[in-house]
Amino acid sequence: MKALIQRVQKGCVSVGGKLLSGVNQGLVILLGVGPDDTREKTQKLARKISHLRIFEDEIGKMNLSLLEVEGEALVVPQFTLYADTRKGHRPSFTDAAPPAVAEPLVTYFVSCLEDLGISTAMGQFGAHMLVEIHNDGPVTILLEV
């Protein structure tokens, strides 16, 4: 499982020109699922992200977690995080989990964040989405479990 997390002042997702969901201060999490990913890996990643100290404290040091700043999370399914570009110029996505495996784990990831007390919104699995990200910092971190 891969997550590209971005600390944001706000973020939102639109599908077909209509606003689907959005968040204010917090994280936009682009989430990719691999074929061998499990619910256990999903829980581990949700815990890691929720406790990752990437928000500034009162003296400007990255020392606070998403939980501590009471931030929100926007989870965007992103199979392209598994792009293989080693050969040719067209990426292959065969390393990404098929939708029947990935979709339930993305939904479970959202519920894990919510269970930790994080207000969470989600993009639409399998849809062509327009994602607006107001990256704060910028802070962007790639995590894998």
Is 80 a residue of the active site? Answer: yes
Catalytic residue among 6, 79, 109, 120: 79
Is 124 a residue of the active site? Answer: no
Is 9 a residue of the active site? Answer: no
Catalytic residue among 38, 80, 93, 94: 80
3-state secondary structure the chain: CEEEEEEEEEEEEEECCEEEEEECCEEEEEEECCCCCCHHHHHHHHHHHHHCCCEECCCCCEEECCCCCCCEEEEEECHHHHCECCCCCCCECCCCCCHHHHHHHHHHHHHHHHHCCCEEEECCCCCCEEEEEEEEEEEEEEEEC
Catalytic residue among 6, 42, 55, 78: 78
Sign, CA torsion 48/70/124/105: positive
Using only C-alpha atoms, what is the Rg of the chain? 15
Task: List the catalytic residues.
Answer: 78-80
